Amino acid sequence: MKNGFLACYPEYEHKNIKYIKFSDANTILECDMIILELEWLFDEYETSGNYNGIPELTTYNSTQIVNDVKKRKSELLEFLNSGKTVVVLNGNDEYRYRYTGRKEYSGTGRNTRITNIVTEIHPSEILPVKIQTFKLEGNNVILKNKKASNFYQKYKDNYKYLTVYENIDKNKILFNIQNTEKVISFYEKVQNGTLLFLPSLNLDNLTKEKGQKLEKQYFDDIYDLVKALNSEDEVLLPEYSKKYLLPKEDIMLKDITSEKLRLDELQKSIDNKEQILKEMQKEKIIFTGSGTLLEKTIVKELECIGFQILKYDENGKDEDIVVSCNDKIAVIEVKGVDGSATEKHTSQTVKWKSMYHIDNAILPKGFLIVNAFKSTELDNRQDAFPTQMLKYAKQQEICLLTAIQIFNIKCYLEQNPEKKEEILNELYKTNGTYNKFIDWNLNIKNKLI
């Protein structure tokens, strides 16, 4: 299970926790449960001063906060509709004033005064239910709903409430302040999910080790509490009943444990395959990419085909790639472009050939590898190499290839390794376009067909 903390800052760090800022792009939808504290929700927004003693947001943050509240409220509704749980640990209404974008004018001429019109914005606006709160702090908590009995008993000596809630349905109340009717914990069913208001924990008198363990267990046990609250007919048994087994209960417990182990193994297998899949999908750079990412991918493909990489520095100023095969040298220019290849690209390849010739007294072969029309779907791509550039490429002994051809050659040689020498010799002898392995769908499928 992965918990998400939205503007929530627990005493200790815990594994499988996703910390989410209210204003950032990280979604809450990937989490299994969201825990938030309304009191700290707006702390990340910049203020320009106070209005009536309440922090007033800057003009920029006034606009941003409205958009963020709208986005997070929509996310919370979707999250709850999927059957998940949102937990509010501290519902204090630490509201702000924001600019509305409206101005009022008074006076005339030089005496004109401009007043920016502000309005309140409350953290509770992100919730799908309306709440009324005020600050009260304490530790003495009493149980009001038997469904929460196990949860209450486990943590009753460590509760610390910071917020009191008013006008709550009596059937939804979980905890009150001792000897009062003041509500400090309740829950609401929202669509398919549960909105749960709980007190925090007081860990001051515990060692770091015990405090961290108790806090983690608190978050974990919320799942069981929600199950109990949502159960209509389930009998809540006392903890000691687990010591005693009914007929066949031990068999069922063993079966459940065994199947959970199998489920864990299956999940590990799925996680491993998903990681492998991500690595596989990176190779799609061959027909989508440009720049360093495309160069790095092409270099890997060339190594698989049988070339030895003599020079390639992804962080270097020079963009040429130098390879060899059977002591035959080649320089390579790689380009990813939105249109077709041009004579300029061929000229750059010729430049690399000349520079290598000058530095090493060896005239290498030139290869121009282009991912043309990189932003166009494969079905709709045009010829990568227009007719007007072919004559020049042949004259300069440049072999023209698309990035997909390189990919296709690699796939072919994986199945036919005995053809490696033949293919490599063909590439070195080709001036102009290499006319084999051209079709993109030799090794790539359109899943919509």
Kindly report which listed range (63-77, 232-246, 370-384, 388-402) carries the lowest average pLDDT score. 232-246
- pLDDT of 103 above 80: no
Instruction: Name the pLDDT band for 306 (thresholds 50, 70, 90).
Output: very high
Q: Please give the pLDDT value at position 116.
A: 77
Angle of helix 387-395 versus helix 343-360 axis, rounded to 10 = 10
- How many CB atoms neighbour CB 340 within 10 A? 16
- pLDDT of 332 above 80: yes
pLDDT in tens, 150-173: 999 999 999 999 999 999 999 899
- What number is the average pLDDT over the span 282-301? 93
Q: Please give the pLDDT value at position 318.
A: 67
Q: Is residue 195 within 8 Å of residue 86, measured between CB atoms?
A: yes
Q: Please give the pLDDT value at position 399.
A: 96
Alpha carbon 186 to its chain centroid, in Å, reads: 32
Closest CA to 195 of 174, 226, 221, 171: 226
Q: Please give the pLDDT value at position 437.
A: 96
- pLDDT of 301 above 90: yes
Calculate the average pLDDT of the chain: 90
- What number is the average pLDDT over the span 120-137? 91
- pLDDT of 39 above 90: no
**Dist CA 315 CA 333 (whole Å):** 16
- Do β-strands 47-51 and 85-90 pair in parallel, antiparallel, or remain unpaired? unpaired
- What number is the average pLDDT over the span 164-190? 92
pLDDT in tens, 360-378: 999 999 999 999 999 999 9
Kindly report whether the global pTM for this prediction surpasses the value 0.85.
no
Q: Position of tokens 């709709």?
A: 380
pLDDT cut 70: percent of the chain above it = 97
Instruction: Name the pLDDT band for 317 (thresholds 50, 70, 90).
Output: low
Q: Is residue 16 within 8 Å of residue 1, measured between CB atoms?
A: yes
- pLDDT of 390 above 60: yes
Q: Please give the pLDDT value at position 118.
A: 86
- pLDDT of 234 above 60: no
- What number is the average pLDDT over the span 397-411? 96
Closest CA to 432 of 366, 371, 372, 382: 366
Tokens of 126: 């992100």
Q: Please give the pLDDT value at position 260.
A: 92
Which runs of E-coded beta strand occur in 30-84? Answer: 33-37, 47-51, 54-57
Instruction: Name the pLDDT band for 232 (thresholds 50, 70, 90).
Output: low
CATH number of 289-442: 3.40.1350.10
Instruction: Name the pLDDT band for 314 (thresholds 50, 70, 90).
Output: confident
pLDDT in tens, 46-102: 998 888 889 999 989 999 999 999 999 999 999 999 999 999 998 888 889 998 888
Closest CA to 64 of 42, 92, 93, 37: 42
Q: Please give the pLDDT value at position 237.
A: 74
Q: Is residue 42 within 8 Å of residue 69, measured between CB atoms?
A: no
- How many CB atoms neighbour CB 270 within 10 A? 10
